[in-house]
Amino acid sequence: MESNPTEKTLAELGIGDVGAVEQLFADVRVRFDSQVKGHSGPLDWQPMQVTWLGRHGVLSAISEKWLKPAPPHLRPIVGRCFNELRTHVEHGVQAMRNVGEGAAESAALARERVDLSLPGVIRPIGSRHLVRQTFEEIERIFLSLGFTVVEGPEIETPYYNFEALNIPEHHPARDTMDTFYLDLPPGSQPHLLRTHTSPMQVHTMEKQQPPVRIIVPGKVYRRDNPDVTHSYMFHQVEGLAVDTDITFCEFKGTVEYFVREFLGSAIKTRLRPSYFPFTEPSVEVDATCFVCMGRGCRLCKLSGWIELFGAGMVDPAVYGFVNYDAKRVSGYAFGLGVDRLSQLKYGIDDVQLFFQNDVRFLRQFP
């Protein structure tokens, strides 16, 4: 194997005159130039810099072995050749670096260039869920009648969900609203997921003196088995209006106006006697079946009418729980099943579709 001349001094190499020194440096230069030619990668200048200009590189070896121990008569020529070689190597490595970095930059630019002629990326924008749209439609109608929107907690105490609404513990009406109680440490006050939005009637009247005109949109929970019209979580909008001179007429007018606005002007309403412990009298509001327009069909079970929601005049017993003077004030309340109303309005035959997040269903209601 050929020995490395930079490991030996000039004397050890047998170099004793100017011509031999120049030849020696010329050979080194040729070696450098051929190494430069053999490299073309954008980062190749880095090993070249280390090999030639680094602390243990070729030039420092030449300085140690040839320059420093050079005999006095050769020192000037060795010094000159050394400086020329160093300049040559520095320029050579810098040129490699410039070429390499330029290439890397062009490659990066080419990679990052935005081609405006390519088709854009279409990101699907979601839409409001049909239940949300129905909420907004209901809110719009009642806001136009002077109601305000309030919201309340989904976790309630039995007092607000039942007792203050005139549903005492033994009352059979509780059976139909048996629900999910929270698992709390022994001795804690019981809490449950509200079964209806009606507790907000009590919260509102506790805080506010008449006149009261509110609607309460929100989620409610019941231990109902899921089927095409039932879900264990569904949505209601509660309504409450209490003032000193509210009559059954105003109640009827408001309900009729809402149904006409919501389902269309061809729809008629009728009130059917019903029962809720917190309203007296209580009614179910029915509307003309919008499929057969009252002639009778499968949807309305040939009756021509469809049940829409429960309502009534606020039972004076409820005023007793909120310190309202039952002799002075009167009012009405209603509880709209939002999912059911939405099903009727848009002809959706299964309430479960609202909760399955199937985009094929959701896309139909942009």
Contacting positions for ligand FA5 (CB under 6 A) = 196, 198, 222, 224, 230-231, 234, 236, 238, 276, 279, 309-312, 333-335, 337, 339-340, 351
The residues, any chain, with a CB within 8 Å of residue 40's CB and separated by 6 or more, are none
CB of 232 to ligand FA5, least distance (A): 7
Judge residue 198's burial from the number of C-beta atoms within 10 Å of its C-beta, 0-12 exposed, 13-18 middle, 19 or more buried.
buried
CB of 131 to ligand FA5, least distance (A): 11
Cβ closest to ligand FA5, residue 48 vs residue 318: 318
CB of 227 to ligand FA5, least distance (A): 9
Q: Which run of H or of E encompasses 311?
A: strand 305-314
Q: Both tokens of residue 109?
A: 């630019």
CB of 311 to ligand FA5, least distance (A): 5
Cβ closest to ligand FA5, residue 5 vs residue 331: 331
Q: Both tokens of residue 359?
A: 């985009």
Please give the residue whose beta carbon sits closest to ligand FA5 in the complex: 337
CA pair distance 35, 37, nearest whole angstrom: 5
Give the residue among 118, 136, 119 at the shortest CA–CA distance from 127: 136
Cβ closest to ligand FA5, residue 8 vs residue 252: 252
CA pair distance 309, 6, nearest whole angstrom: 101
Cβ closest to ligand FA5, residue 45 vs residue 305: 305
- Asked if residue 325 lies in contact with residue 310, where contact means CB atoms within 8 angstroms, the answer is no
CB of 199 to ligand FA5, least distance (A): 9
Give the residue among 311, 310, 263 at the shortest CA–CA distance from 287: 263
- Asked if residue 65 lies in contact with residue 6, where contact means CB atoms within 8 angstroms, the answer is yes
Cβ closest to ligand FA5, residue 279 vs residue 288: 279
- CA contacts within 13 A on the Cβ side of 89: 27
Cβ closest to ligand FA5, residue 97 vs residue 174: 174
CB of 282 to ligand FA5, least distance (A): 6
